[in-house]
Structure 1
Amino acid sequence: MKRFLMAAAPLALLGACSGGGASGSDDLQAGEWTMTSQIDEITLAGMPEEMVNQMRERANEQPPNINCLTEEDVENPVEGMFANSEMGDDCDFGDSAFEDGVINVNATCQGPEGQGIANLSVQGTYTATTMQAELSVNVEGGPSEMSMSSTLSAERTGECTAEPEAEPESDAAATDEEE
Structure 2
Amino acid sequence: MAIHKLQIDDFVTVDYELIAIHSSLEDYRLAYFINQSLPVLLEKSHKDINMKFTKSESCFSRFVFEDIDTDSIWNLIQNKNSVVTTQEQEVTSLFSNIKLDMITNSYFLPEFKKVDYILKVENIPTPLTSTSLINELLAVKHITTAYTIEHNKLKSKNNLIF
Q: Please, what TM-score do these two structures have when normalized by structure 2?
A: 0.30
More helix by share: 1
Q: Please, what TM-score do these two structures have when normalized by structure 1?
A: 0.28
